[in-house]
Structure 1
Amino acid sequence: MSDPYAAVEMILSLIPEQHHDLAREYLRNHHPSAILQYASQFRLPLTNTVGGYGEITIQRGEDLYHDKWAVTDGAFSGCRAWTEADGWTAGSGWQYISDIGRANAYRYTLQEAFEVARRVVEIESACSEAEVAAIRARIGGQA
Protein backbone atom coordinates (compact mmCIF):
# COMPACT_ATOMS: atom_id res chain seq x y z
CA MET A 1 0.00 0.00 0.00
CA SER A 2 1.84 3.10 -1.22
CA ASP A 3 -0.55 5.77 0.12
CA PRO A 4 0.33 6.30 3.82
CA TYR A 5 -3.06 7.88 4.54
CA ALA A 6 -4.85 4.86 3.11
CA ALA A 7 -2.64 2.60 5.24
CA VAL A 8 -3.54 4.55 8.37
CA GLU A 9 -7.26 4.40 7.59
CA MET A 10 -7.02 0.67 6.93
CA ILE A 11 -5.25 0.16 10.25
CA LEU A 12 -7.78 2.29 12.11
CA SER A 13 -10.58 0.19 10.66
CA LEU A 14 -9.06 -2.87 12.35
CA ILE A 15 -9.15 -1.54 15.90
CA PRO A 16 -11.94 -0.41 18.23
CA GLU A 17 -12.87 3.25 17.84
CA GLN A 18 -12.07 4.08 21.45
CA HIS A 19 -8.39 3.39 20.65
CA HIS A 20 -8.17 5.60 17.54
CA ASP A 21 -6.64 8.61 19.33
CA LEU A 22 -3.97 6.42 20.89
CA ALA A 23 -3.34 4.78 17.51
CA ARG A 24 -2.95 8.12 15.71
CA GLU A 25 -0.47 9.31 18.36
CA TYR A 26 1.47 6.07 18.02
CA LEU A 27 1.54 6.33 14.22
CA ARG A 28 3.17 9.74 14.39
CA ASN A 29 6.29 8.03 15.74
CA HIS A 30 6.07 4.51 14.31
CA HIS A 31 5.50 2.70 11.04
CA PRO A 32 1.80 2.04 10.34
CA SER A 33 2.27 -1.74 10.50
CA ALA A 34 3.22 -1.39 14.18
CA ILE A 35 -0.39 -0.52 15.01
CA LEU A 36 -1.45 -4.10 14.25
CA GLN A 37 -0.44 -4.96 17.81
CA TYR A 38 -3.76 -3.38 18.85
CA ALA A 39 -5.87 -5.66 16.64
CA SER A 40 -7.71 -8.46 18.41
CA GLN A 41 -9.35 -10.12 15.41
CA PHE A 42 -9.54 -10.24 11.64
CA ARG A 43 -12.52 -11.40 9.58
CA LEU A 44 -12.16 -13.16 6.24
CA PRO A 45 -15.39 -13.46 4.25
CA LEU A 46 -16.25 -16.71 2.55
CA THR A 47 -16.01 -16.52 -1.20
CA ASN A 48 -19.15 -18.01 -2.67
CA THR A 49 -21.17 -17.31 -5.76
CA VAL A 50 -24.55 -18.42 -4.40
CA GLY A 51 -25.25 -15.50 -2.12
CA GLY A 52 -25.43 -15.19 1.61
CA TYR A 53 -22.60 -14.32 3.93
CA GLY A 54 -20.19 -16.24 6.06
CA GLU A 55 -16.79 -15.55 7.50
CA ILE A 56 -13.81 -17.08 9.20
CA THR A 57 -12.37 -15.17 12.15
CA ILE A 58 -8.78 -14.97 13.30
CA GLN A 59 -8.81 -14.13 17.01
CA ARG A 60 -5.98 -13.11 19.32
CA GLY A 61 -5.67 -15.09 22.52
CA GLU A 62 -6.04 -13.54 25.95
CA ASP A 63 -3.86 -13.66 29.06
CA LEU A 64 -1.18 -16.34 28.61
CA TYR A 65 -2.01 -16.64 24.91
CA HIS A 66 -1.94 -12.92 24.02
CA ASP A 67 0.78 -13.50 21.42
CA LYS A 68 -1.01 -16.44 19.76
CA TRP A 69 -3.95 -16.58 17.36
CA ALA A 70 -6.79 -19.01 16.63
CA VAL A 71 -8.80 -19.56 13.46
CA THR A 72 -12.43 -19.62 14.62
CA ASP A 73 -16.00 -19.66 13.39
CA GLY A 74 -16.51 -16.33 15.19
CA ALA A 75 -19.45 -17.51 17.30
CA PHE A 76 -20.25 -15.50 20.41
CA SER A 77 -21.24 -18.63 22.28
CA GLY A 78 -19.87 -22.11 21.71
CA CYS A 79 -16.98 -20.82 19.61
CA ARG A 80 -15.14 -23.45 17.57
CA ALA A 81 -11.53 -23.35 16.43
CA TRP A 82 -10.10 -24.97 13.33
CA THR A 83 -7.53 -27.59 14.20
CA GLU A 84 -5.24 -29.52 11.91
CA ALA A 85 -4.03 -33.06 12.49
CA ASP A 86 -0.60 -32.79 14.08
CA GLY A 87 -0.44 -35.26 16.92
CA TRP A 88 -2.22 -33.00 19.42
CA THR A 89 -5.68 -33.19 17.90
CA ALA A 90 -7.73 -36.02 16.44
CA GLY A 91 -7.93 -34.50 12.97
CA SER A 92 -8.53 -31.42 10.91
CA GLY A 93 -11.79 -29.58 11.36
CA TRP A 94 -13.90 -27.51 13.72
CA GLN A 95 -13.68 -28.32 17.41
CA TYR A 96 -15.16 -26.48 20.38
CA ILE A 97 -12.51 -24.48 22.21
CA SER A 98 -13.98 -25.75 25.47
CA ASP A 99 -13.24 -29.33 24.29
CA ILE A 100 -9.68 -28.85 23.07
CA GLY A 101 -8.48 -26.14 25.46
CA ARG A 102 -7.14 -22.68 24.77
CA ALA A 103 -3.55 -23.88 24.29
CA ASN A 104 -4.65 -26.02 21.33
CA ALA A 105 -6.94 -23.35 19.90
CA TYR A 106 -4.62 -20.34 20.22
CA ARG A 107 -1.57 -21.98 18.72
CA TYR A 108 -0.62 -19.94 15.66
CA THR A 109 1.50 -16.90 14.95
CA LEU A 110 -0.47 -14.25 13.07
CA GLN A 111 1.13 -15.26 9.76
CA GLU A 112 0.38 -18.95 10.38
CA ALA A 113 -3.21 -18.10 11.31
CA PHE A 114 -3.72 -16.22 8.04
CA GLU A 115 -2.31 -19.17 6.07
CA VAL A 116 -4.64 -21.61 7.85
CA ALA A 117 -7.61 -19.24 7.56
CA ARG A 118 -7.13 -18.91 3.80
CA ARG A 119 -7.26 -22.71 3.47
CA VAL A 120 -10.36 -22.85 5.68
CA VAL A 121 -12.06 -20.13 3.61
CA GLU A 122 -11.55 -22.27 0.50
CA ILE A 123 -12.92 -25.39 2.23
CA GLU A 124 -15.92 -23.65 3.83
CA SER A 125 -16.74 -21.73 0.64
CA ALA A 126 -16.79 -24.96 -1.37
CA CYS A 127 -18.93 -26.67 1.29
CA SER A 128 -21.37 -23.76 1.33
CA GLU A 129 -21.75 -23.78 -2.44
CA ALA A 130 -22.21 -27.57 -2.51
CA GLU A 131 -24.87 -27.41 0.20
CA VAL A 132 -26.82 -24.70 -1.63
CA ALA A 133 -26.55 -26.65 -4.90
CA ALA A 134 -27.90 -29.79 -3.18
CA ILE A 135 -30.83 -27.85 -1.70
CA ARG A 136 -31.62 -26.27 -5.06
CA ALA A 137 -31.53 -29.70 -6.71
CA ARG A 138 -33.97 -31.14 -4.11
CA ILE A 139 -36.32 -28.19 -4.44
CA GLY A 140 -36.19 -28.46 -8.22
CA GLY A 141 -36.95 -32.19 -8.05
CA GLN A 142 -33.60 -33.12 -9.51
CA ALA A 143 -32.31 -35.03 -6.46
Structure 2
Amino acid sequence: MSGVVLVGVDGSQTARRAAESAKRLATALAAELRVVTAFESDRVEIVESGADKWVLSDADAAEKVARTIAGELASEQLQTSYGAVRGKAGEALVKEAERVDAQLIVVGNRRMQGLGRILGSVANTVAHNAPCDVYIAKTDEPA
Protein backbone atom coordinates (compact mmCIF):
# COMPACT_ATOMS: atom_id res chain seq x y z
CA MET A 1 0.00 0.00 0.00
CA SER A 2 2.55 2.54 1.22
CA GLY A 3 1.12 6.00 1.82
CA VAL A 4 0.17 7.41 5.22
CA VAL A 5 -1.78 5.98 8.16
CA LEU A 6 -2.88 8.83 10.42
CA VAL A 7 -3.73 8.59 14.11
CA GLY A 8 -4.60 11.27 16.65
CA VAL A 9 -3.37 11.13 20.23
CA ASP A 10 -4.04 13.22 23.31
CA GLY A 11 -1.99 11.46 25.96
CA SER A 12 -4.87 9.26 27.17
CA GLN A 13 -4.70 5.46 27.47
CA THR A 14 -7.47 5.02 24.92
CA ALA A 15 -5.63 7.19 22.39
CA ARG A 16 -2.50 5.15 23.07
CA ARG A 17 -4.46 1.97 22.24
CA ALA A 18 -5.60 3.53 18.95
CA ALA A 19 -1.97 4.46 18.21
CA GLU A 20 -0.86 0.87 18.83
CA SER A 21 -3.51 -0.33 16.37
CA ALA A 22 -2.35 2.29 13.87
CA LYS A 23 1.24 1.07 14.28
CA ARG A 24 0.23 -2.52 13.53
CA LEU A 25 -1.75 -1.43 10.46
CA ALA A 26 0.95 0.89 9.13
CA THR A 27 3.60 -1.80 9.56
CA ALA A 28 1.46 -4.43 7.80
CA LEU A 29 0.69 -2.00 4.96
CA ALA A 30 4.27 -0.71 4.64
CA ALA A 31 2.90 2.80 5.22
CA GLU A 32 4.22 5.79 7.11
CA LEU A 33 2.60 6.34 10.51
CA ARG A 34 1.73 10.00 11.16
CA VAL A 35 0.88 10.81 14.78
CA VAL A 36 -0.90 14.11 15.44
CA THR A 37 -2.37 15.95 18.39
CA ALA A 38 -5.05 18.60 18.05
CA PHE A 39 -5.07 21.89 19.95
CA GLU A 40 -7.92 24.36 20.00
CA SER A 41 -6.42 27.65 21.10
CA ASP A 42 -3.42 29.75 20.16
CA ARG A 43 -2.73 30.56 23.80
CA VAL A 44 0.86 31.57 24.46
CA GLU A 45 2.38 32.06 27.88
CA ILE A 46 5.71 33.70 28.61
CA VAL A 47 7.53 32.43 31.69
CA GLU A 48 10.51 34.34 33.04
CA SER A 49 12.92 33.33 35.76
CA GLY A 50 15.83 35.70 36.28
CA ALA A 51 17.52 36.18 32.93
CA ASP A 52 15.82 33.10 31.42
CA LYS A 53 12.68 33.41 29.35
CA TRP A 54 10.47 30.62 27.94
CA VAL A 55 7.61 30.92 25.50
CA LEU A 56 5.03 28.16 26.03
CA SER A 57 2.12 27.55 23.68
CA ASP A 58 -0.70 25.07 23.25
CA ALA A 59 0.77 24.16 19.86
CA ASP A 60 4.12 23.30 21.44
CA ALA A 61 2.46 21.19 24.13
CA ALA A 62 0.39 19.33 21.52
CA GLU A 63 3.43 18.69 19.35
CA LYS A 64 5.32 17.33 22.34
CA VAL A 65 2.56 14.75 22.98
CA ALA A 66 2.60 13.65 19.32
CA ARG A 67 6.43 13.57 19.19
CA THR A 68 6.63 11.44 22.33
CA ILE A 69 4.11 8.86 21.10
CA ALA A 70 5.65 8.77 17.60
CA GLY A 71 9.04 8.15 19.17
CA GLU A 72 7.71 5.33 21.32
CA LEU A 73 6.04 3.69 18.30
CA ALA A 74 9.01 4.02 15.93
CA SER A 75 10.80 0.89 14.79
CA GLU A 76 13.16 -0.20 12.04
CA GLN A 77 10.17 -1.45 10.04
CA LEU A 78 8.12 1.73 10.45
CA GLN A 79 8.65 5.31 9.34
CA THR A 80 6.94 7.74 11.70
CA SER A 81 6.24 11.45 11.67
CA TYR A 82 4.34 13.73 14.01
CA GLY A 83 2.69 17.11 14.25
CA ALA A 84 0.20 19.39 15.95
CA VAL A 85 -2.96 20.54 14.17
CA ARG A 86 -5.19 23.43 15.23
CA GLY A 87 -8.88 22.62 15.69
CA LYS A 88 -11.23 20.25 17.44
CA ALA A 89 -9.87 16.71 17.40
CA GLY A 90 -12.14 15.19 14.75
CA GLU A 91 -11.97 18.19 12.46
CA ALA A 92 -8.19 18.42 12.89
CA LEU A 93 -7.73 14.76 11.91
CA VAL A 94 -9.82 15.23 8.77
CA LYS A 95 -7.89 18.39 7.85
CA GLU A 96 -4.53 16.66 8.37
CA ALA A 97 -5.66 13.61 6.38
CA GLU A 98 -6.51 15.91 3.48
CA ARG A 99 -3.20 17.76 3.79
CA VAL A 100 -1.01 14.63 3.77
CA ASP A 101 -3.27 12.63 1.43
CA ALA A 102 -3.66 9.88 4.06
CA GLN A 103 -4.91 6.49 2.96
CA LEU A 104 -6.30 5.59 6.39
CA ILE A 105 -7.27 7.34 9.63
CA VAL A 106 -7.28 5.28 12.83
CA VAL A 107 -9.52 6.43 15.68
CA GLY A 108 -10.67 4.83 18.91
CA ASN A 109 -14.22 3.83 19.76
CA ARG A 110 -14.28 5.82 23.01
CA ARG A 111 -17.60 7.69 23.40
CA MET A 112 -19.20 5.70 20.59
CA GLN A 113 -21.88 4.42 22.96
CA GLY A 114 -24.79 6.05 24.74
CA LEU A 115 -25.03 9.84 24.97
CA GLY A 116 -21.58 10.37 23.40
CA ARG A 117 -22.82 8.64 20.25
CA ILE A 118 -25.76 11.03 19.99
CA LEU A 119 -23.80 14.19 20.79
CA GLY A 120 -20.86 13.22 18.62
CA SER A 121 -17.37 11.94 19.12
CA VAL A 122 -14.05 12.11 17.37
CA ALA A 123 -14.71 8.78 15.65
CA ASN A 124 -18.15 9.91 14.53
CA THR A 125 -16.85 13.21 13.14
CA VAL A 126 -13.99 11.49 11.32
CA ALA A 127 -16.16 8.68 9.94
CA HIS A 128 -18.61 11.18 8.44
CA ASN A 129 -16.05 13.61 7.00
CA ALA A 130 -12.87 11.70 6.20
CA PRO A 131 -11.36 11.89 2.72
CA CYS A 132 -10.12 8.30 3.08
CA ASP A 133 -10.88 5.00 4.81
CA VAL A 134 -11.39 5.03 8.58
CA TYR A 135 -10.49 2.23 10.98
CA ILE A 136 -12.23 2.36 14.36
CA ALA A 137 -10.08 0.52 16.91
CA LYS A 138 -11.55 -1.00 20.04
CA THR A 139 -9.98 1.16 22.71
CA ASP A 140 -12.56 1.21 25.49
CA GLU A 141 -11.02 -1.88 27.09
CA PRO A 142 -7.37 -2.92 27.45
CA ALA A 143 -6.29 -5.59 24.96
Structure exhibiting the larger radius of gyration computed from Cα positions: 1
- Give the TM-score, by structure 1 length: 0.26
Which structure's residues are more often strand, by fraction? Answer: 2
- Give the TM-score, by structure 2 length: 0.26
Which structure's residues are more often helix, by fraction? Answer: 1
Higher relative contact order (CA 8 A, sep 6+): 2
